[in-house]
Amino acid sequence: MSTFSAIAPGIDLPRYARDLMRMHDTVLGGGRPVLEPRALVARSWSRVLHSGLDPTGGNVRTPLPIDEIERRRRASRLTEVIADLEQVVSPVAESSQMLLVVTDADGVILWRSGSARVRSRADTLGFVEGVEWTESTVGTNAIGTALTEAAPVQLFSGEHFEQTQHPWYCTAAPIHDPIGGDLLGIVDVSGPALTLHPAIGALVDTAVRLAEAQLWRRHEQRLERLRADAAPVLASTTGPVLLVDDDGWVAHASGVAATTRVGVPRAARAQAVPGLGLCIPERLTHGWLIRPQASASTIRMTLHLSAAPFVEVGDGSWRSAVTVRHAEILLLLHRHGRDGMSVAELGRALFGDTEHAVTVRAEVSRLRRALGSVVDGRPYRLADAVDLTIVVGDADGPSTCEFVRKVASTHVRAHLAREI
């Protein structure tokens, strides 16, 4: 059977449930079972055993107050698609002894629908709105384990950590925001263990795909409304311009090569946009107008290497503090010019090896959030519109520069000593 599916077609469910419950008791009792737990289950049990939870099911469930549940519902983008999910899944759930359960990214149950009889059984288990259904609170379960593993999970009977959950199956999958990629929550279908059907996994997968498709459709509708609202402004604007939403998604482009997204705009913050150069985003009612500054299409940026490094743009009317690490990255990319640096090369320069690719990408991402789109990728290099000048701000030379003494990388320190 696959990692996701807990059962194989045609399996004898009652017998398999008994085997899994014996396996559960043996493993948690420190013995060696005849039937080994799946790798997914073994990993989860190992995590849960270290948390000190009670495998008999005596772990406390404390539902959040109603007003907090409502607040979380209002804050969740899943509010936009919960009706679509219920329309697809709930009719099946009503007739097939199932529950549809949807949580937020914290694993807190926000919505629950389905068979009244199964809802009543779930009530006695504490499987209700407002309860955090994570591994750390209720042990191995499909919702909590899907959150931890960041993948779809199906559990059957004795694969649950708590014995009180053994009469159940649960099938859960993460649902992500198709616009920003953030985890929004978990879609779960649960029911009595002996009613599990191999098609349940496909039902959950369909529900997730539907929800994400609907979220994307609503995103496109918001961009269309933004275009309509901004039509008078666009009609009176000459020259290259972008109209973007609050997340940087492009609703309209004129006089500039089409792109789907730019850096997230911020009021009064200079932003480098490929094809436009230096821009100061202009706030509209429901979005942003981005166009080149009238004075120049080049970002004239100065990196001041001092005890507290910072960046100035233009005549110094805009400045931003940067970390030592971000100053190192800007300096290295400046030295390598248009050839740029690969992730491996930047990692070797910063950390002395090529094993820090994830850290390098995260640092460059944080640098872009701080300064705007001043760094291009593949390879990493300064954006075409950026004209960077390096200034040693508190020293007569590199030997007395406080910034050089604070640099962690010996490679960068040596590089600075040779070339500043």
Chain-centroid distance, C-alpha 158: 31
pLDDT of residue 364: 87
| DSSP code, position 158 | G
231 in any annotated domain: no
State which of 158, 191, 217 marks the end of a domain: 217
**Burial class of 66 by CB neighbour count within 10 A (0 to 12, 13 to 18, 19+):** exposed
The number of C-alpha atoms within 13 Å of 86 and in the hemisphere containing its C-beta is 14
The CATH number given to whatever domain includes residue 327 is: 1.10.10.10
Of 217, 243, 277, the residue that ends a domain is 217
Who contacts 310 (Cβ-Cβ below 8 Å, separation ≥6)? Answer: 304, 319, 320, 321, 322
Are 319 and 186 in the same domain? no
Whether residue 56 sits in one domain with residue 191: yes
- Written as six digits, the tokens of 330 are 């800007």
Distance CA 292, CA 277 (A): 6
160/43 same-domain check = yes
Instruction: Give the gyration radius of the chain's Cα atoms.
Output: 27
Establish if 246 belongs to a structural domain: no
317 and 414 co-located in one domain: yes
CA dihedral 223, 227, 229, 231 (to 10 degrees): 170
- 40 and 147 share a domain? yes
Residues 310 and 210 in one domain: no
Asked whether residue 19 falls in the same domain as residue 156, the answer is yes
* Domain span at 120: 13-217
Q: Residue written as tokens 């599990």?
A: 196
Q: Which two tokens stand for residue 18?
A: 């008994």
Task: Dihedral sign for Cα 399, 403, 407, 412, please.
Answer: negative
Same domain, 208 and 332: no
Question: Is 327 inside any structural domain?
Answer: yes
Q: How many CB atoms neighbour CB 254 within 10 A?
A: 13
> Quick one: 203 and 310 in the same domain?
no
The reply to whether 235 falls in a domain is no
> What's the pTM?
0.68
4 lies in some domain: no
Residues 21 and 151 in one domain: yes
CATH number at residue 52: 3.30.450.40
> Does residue 309 share a domain with residue 211?
no
Give the tens place of pLDDT for each residue, 186-216: 999 999 999 998 889 999 999 999 999 999 9
The dihedrals phi and psi of 128, each to the nearest 5 degrees, come to: -135, 165
Nearby residues of 324 by Cβ (< 8 Å), 6 or more positions away: 309, 403, 406, 407, 408
pLDDT tens string 123-155: 999 999 999 999 999 999 999 999 999 999 999
Say if residue 98 is in the same domain as residue 203. yes
The pLDDT score that the predictor gives to residue 325 is 87
Residue 168 lies in a domain: yes
Q: What is the pLDDT of residue 44?
A: 96
Q: Write the DSSP string, 258-319.
A: --SB-PPP-TT--EEETTTEEE--EE-SSSEEE-B-SS-SSEEEEEEESSS-EEEETTTTEE
- For 112, other C-beta atoms within 10 Å of its C-beta total 19
pLDDT tens per residue across all 420 residues of the chain:
444 889 988 899 999 999 999 999 999 888 898 899 999 999 999 999 988 899 998 899 999 999 999 999 999 999 999 999 988 887 777 778 899 999 999 999 999 998 889 999 999 999 999 999 999 999 999 999 999 999 999 999 999 999 999 999 999 999 999 987 899 999 999 999 999 988 899 999 999 999 999 999 999 999 999 999 888 788 878 888 899 999 889 999 988 876 788 888 888 777 777 777 778 888 888 899 998 875 445 667 888 887 788 888 766 556 778 888 888 899 889 888 888 999 999 888 888 888 888 888 888 888 876 776 678 888 999 887 788 888 876 544 545 466 766 776 666 666 666 555
For residue 85, is it within any domain?
yes
Looking at 189, 217, 245, the residue that finishes a domain is: 217
The answer to the question of residue 198 being in a domain is yes
- DSSP states along 374-412: -EETTTBEE-TTEEEEEEE-S-SSGGG-HHHHH---HHH
Domains held by the chain: number: 2
What is the 3-class SS of 325-348, one letter each residue? HHHHHHHHHHHHHHHCECHHHHHH
Q: How would you label 209-235 residue by residue, b for 16+ Cβ within 10 Å and e otherwise? A: ebbbebbeeebeebbeebeeebeeeee
